[in-house]
């Protein structure tokens, strides 16, 4: 098995260039806001010496770090909306040229381009205050702005385990996907009106065809060193909420199956993010407590509706699929009534930190 989680940068020169007092520090320490909203862009490290700039559910820019004539430089790529669209094409071309030829002078152009990208991003990615909006807030608030007493230290988002090939990936994920999809199939077969149409069954194998994916929303470390698999749902996504235990159960099982292979990579990622200022220094104290013996599944629900019928259905699914930790999240301006059907912990996400 060659499972990996290699998202840390591979060269010391790249790390040095990104630090707060060096030539390319603007790539992670000088991100623009959106009309005063400092949560609008979340930067993450990725395999292949890449930086990705998330604006909710979209990526505004991908920066790949390179070395040219012993100097750190960078190459950029983006969806055509943010590279060739009318509002972004000029700044994208300028940034692309400076990134390779004169990277230390690219700071103002970098800012200009990201602001242009923010201005044309689809509202459904972030500004509609749905899942992407909350994911950015969680990743920034419990990432770089995490406090020592917080329950969560979010270390990464869009978490995908790497494998040597698709066969190894299938060997890890497929049994768990089928197991949890079969639970959904049983509910839907019993009461199609309540639970929706049943999942298709493969006629050649007799297995239920899984709709469960392989990308976890967020990976975190708890205050006592637990490794947390967090799946985020918007409060209006009722189906996503009550089927959530199947999804996060799949991720928990898959991560557990290869956890010993991922331990060193996760340690390296955390230490490097601290070094770069993407995580606070107290994250290292939390890392000392980490036990990689198992993963705790968490279903996080943003802006919940306590009157929704999804809660009783969620309770039923958990009886079959296994209990998960349910956390509801909202802003301090809303008072949310307690949810009686499911034991939950509530987080008030204060934007002032």
Domain ranges of the chain: 12-127, 137-348
Q: Give the rounded percent of residues in the chain with a pLDDT score beyond 70.
A: 98
pLDDT for 87? 93
Mean pLDDT, rounded, for 191-219? 87
Beta bridge partners of 90: none
CB 120, CB 87: distance < 8 Å: yes
pTM for the complete prediction? 0.94
| Phi and psi torsions of 137, nearest 5° | -60, -45
Of the two residues 338 and 11, the one the predictor is more confident about is: 11
Question: What is the rounded distance in angstroms from the CA atom of residue 282 to the CA atom of residue 274?
Answer: 9
- pLDDT, one tens digit per residue, over 103-146 is 999 999 999 999 999 999 999 999 999 999 999 999 999 999 99
- pLDDT, one tens digit per residue, over 152-174 is 999 999 999 999 999 999 999 99
Mean pLDDT, rounded, for 195-216? 84
pLDDT for 152? 95
- pLDDT, one tens digit per residue, over 248-303 is 999 999 999 999 999 999 999 999 999 999 999 999 998 887 777 889 999 999 99
**Closest to 227 measured CA to CA, from 200, 189, 197, 265:** 265
Question: What is the rounded distance in angstroms from the CA atom of residue 269 to the CA atom of residue 5?
Answer: 9
| E strands in 193-264 | 216-222, 227-234
pLDDT of residue 352 exceeding 60: no
143: Cα within 13 Å, side-chain hemisphere: 23
pLDDT of residue 9 exceeding 60: yes
């Amino acid at each position: 098995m060659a499972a990996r989680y290699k998202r840390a940068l591979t060269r010391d020169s790249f790390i040095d260039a990104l630090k707060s007092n060096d030539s390319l520090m603007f790539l992670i320490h000088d991100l623009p806001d959106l009309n005063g909203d400092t949560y609008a862009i979340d930067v993450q490290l990725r395999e292949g010496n890449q930086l990705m700039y998330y604006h909710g559910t979209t990526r505004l820019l991908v920066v790949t770090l390179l070395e040219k004539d012993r100097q750190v430089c960078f190459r950029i790529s983006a969806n055509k909306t943010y590279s060739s669209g009318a509002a972004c094409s000029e700044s994208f071309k300028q940034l692309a040229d400076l990134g390779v030829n004169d990277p230390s002078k690219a700071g103002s152009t970098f800012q200009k381009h990201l602001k242009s990208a923010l201005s044309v991003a689809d509202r459904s990615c972030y500004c509609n205050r749905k899942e992407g909006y909350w994911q950015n807030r969680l990743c920034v608030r419990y990432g770089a702005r995490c406090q020592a007493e917080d329950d969560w230290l979010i270390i990464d988002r869009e978490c995908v385990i790497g494998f040597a090939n698709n066969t190894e990936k299938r060997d890890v994920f497929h049994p768990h996907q089928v197991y949890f999809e079969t639970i959904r199939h049983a509910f839907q077969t019993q009461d199609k009106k309540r639970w929706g149409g049943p999942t298709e069954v493969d006629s050649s194998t007799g297995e239920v065809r899984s709709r469960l994916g392989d990308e976890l929303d967020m990976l975190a470390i708890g205050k006592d060193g637990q490794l947390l698999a967090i799946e985020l749902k918007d409060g209006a996504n009722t189906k996503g909420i009550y089927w959530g235990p199947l999804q996060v159960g799949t991720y928990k099982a898959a991560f557990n199956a290869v956890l010993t292979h991922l331990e060193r990579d996760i340690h390296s990622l955390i230490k490097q993010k601290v070094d770069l200022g993407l995580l606070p220094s107290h994250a290292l104290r939390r890392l000392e407590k980490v036990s990689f013996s198992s993963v705790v599944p968490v279903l996080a629900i943003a802006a919940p509706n306590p009157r929704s019928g999804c809660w009783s259905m969620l309770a039923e699914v958990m009886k079959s699929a296994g209990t998960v930790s349910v956390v509801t999240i909202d802003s301090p301006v809303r008072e949310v009534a307690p949810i009686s059907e499911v034991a939950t912990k509530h987080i008030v996400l204060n934007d002032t930190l």
